[in-house]
Amino acid sequence: MPDAPASILLFGATGQVGHALRRPLAALGTVHTPGRAAVDLTDLTSVREAATSVREAAGEHEPDLIVNAAAYTDVDGAEEEPGRAAQINAEAPRALAEAAQDVGAWCVHYSTDYVFDGTKRAPYTEADAPHPIGVYARTKRAGEKAVQAASDRHVILRTSWMYSRRRSNFVKAMLRLADETDRPTVVDDQIGVPTWAGWCAGATASVCERLLAEDDGALAGLYHLVGTGQTSWYGLARAVFAQFGRTDVTAQPVSSGEYETAAPRPAYTVLDASRARAAFDLPATTWTAQLARFREHVQAADGARVARG
């Protein structure tokens, strides 16, 4: 840990990962979370002003760390709003990375497995060349390149298939669907690694702690941040129903061709995260163990809510 508490600027604090990051980052220093009223990610001037400095009660301090968990994540919506997707996924990250470079701060930015086209049939490593398909994927890849070009002290974390209790995500959709039908149809020919936002946030905090403590430029770069194992959306649905005791629900596998979507989906985007585990001494946690922890988290939160009346 650094001698003094770090000043951390967190963007996207209301999203799945951003919200989960609040508590673990708070253990590292003072976390500033400008909301939409304070910064508009589609306005580069607003982004730069928020990133260049943060104001605390004792005065004005430049951030030691800028974490960007904000993104345009509507894969199909991006096909209809390419300009907005590009602004949030590429231009805003560029501005944040430039600000981090100006003040000597670390810049931590999230990207996605969708930067790959899915034609490979072995886990993708950081050495594999991206080939994004669809607007969302292309804007996220553009964001990666923008951050890499703008900041010498950046860490880009590619993750995949995110879920939590917040926002729209597959796991929430399956639990809702279980109340509507006992035989939901789920795609079985897209393969990836499900990631619980709580696990991702904890791993990210470990990365940030190392960056702040050692300030080692050799740690800068691109990393994959997921658990181990792989499954299809159908496999994940079955695991969700089993974890939450929905034995009355039986998922039915279907092909991607049976669903029409605005944006193409890659068929295989399993990420190999061994580089991040080695660099930051992160544990290898299976996606199934993350799902079990998520279920425990949900049940504990629901129990606490009932206790409060």
Tell me 281's DSSP state: T
% of the chain surpassing 70 pLDDT: 92
Look at residues 177, 285, 299, 196 and name the one whose alpha carbon lies nearest to residue 238: 177
Per-residue pLDDT, 46: 76
- Residues contacting residue 38 through CB under 8 Å, at least 6 positions apart: 50
Per-residue pLDDT, 1: 47
pTM for the model: 0.94
Runs of H (alpha helix) within the chain = 16-26, 44-52, 77-80, 82-86, 92-103, 135-150, 170-177, 197-214, 233-243, 274-280, 287-308
pLDDT tens digits, one per residue of 176-204: 999 999 999 999 999 999 999 999 999 99
Per-residue pLDDT, 58: 45
Per-residue pLDDT, 308: 63
Per-residue pLDDT, 210: 97
pLDDT tens digits, one per residue of 117-147: 999 999 999 999 999 999 999 999 999 999 9
Q: Is pLDDT above 80 for 302? A: no
Q: What radius of gyration, in Å, describes the C-alpha atoms of the chain? A: 19
- Rounded to the nearest angstrom, the gap between the alpha carbon of residue 18 and the centroid of all alpha carbons in its chain is 8
User: What is the phi/psi pair of residue 187, to 5°?
Assistant: -60, 135
pLDDT tens digits, one per residue of 220-229: 999 999 999 9
Per-residue pLDDT, 45: 78
Residue 255: CB atoms within 10 Å: 10
Which residues share a beta bridge with 9?
A: 32, 66
Q: Is pLDDT above 90 for 238? A: yes
Set out the domains of the chain in order of their start, with CATH numbers.
6-168+195-229+270-286 (3.40.50.720)
Which tokens in the block code for residue 63?
A: 């951030």
Taking CA atoms, 204 is separated from 27, 156, 220, 286, 301, in Å, by 13, 11, 14, 16, 22
Per-residue pLDDT, 305: 65
Classify strands 106-112 and 154-159 as parallel, antiparallel or unpaired.
parallel
Per-residue pLDDT, 133: 95
Give the torsion through C-alpha atoms of 239, 245, 247, 253, to 10 deg.
Answer: -20
- Rounded to the nearest angstrom, the gap between the alpha carbon of residue 102 and the centroid of all alpha carbons in its chain is 25
Q: How confident is the model at residue 107 (pLDDT cuts 50, 70, 90)?
A: very high
Better-scored residue on pLDDT, 100 or 62:
100
Per-residue pLDDT, 37: 63
Per-residue pLDDT, 259: 86
148-175: average pLDDT: 96
Cα 296 from Cα 302, distance rounded (Å): 10
pLDDT tens digits, one per residue of 16-36: 999 999 999 999 999 999 876
Angle, vertex CA 300, rays to CA 305 and CA 181, nearest 5: 85
Cα 241 from Cα 224, distance rounded (Å): 28
pLDDT tens digits, one per residue of 32-86: 998 766 677 777 777 777 766 665 544 567 899 999 999 999 999 999 999 999 9
Catalytic residue numbers? 136
**Mean of pLDDT over the chain:** 92
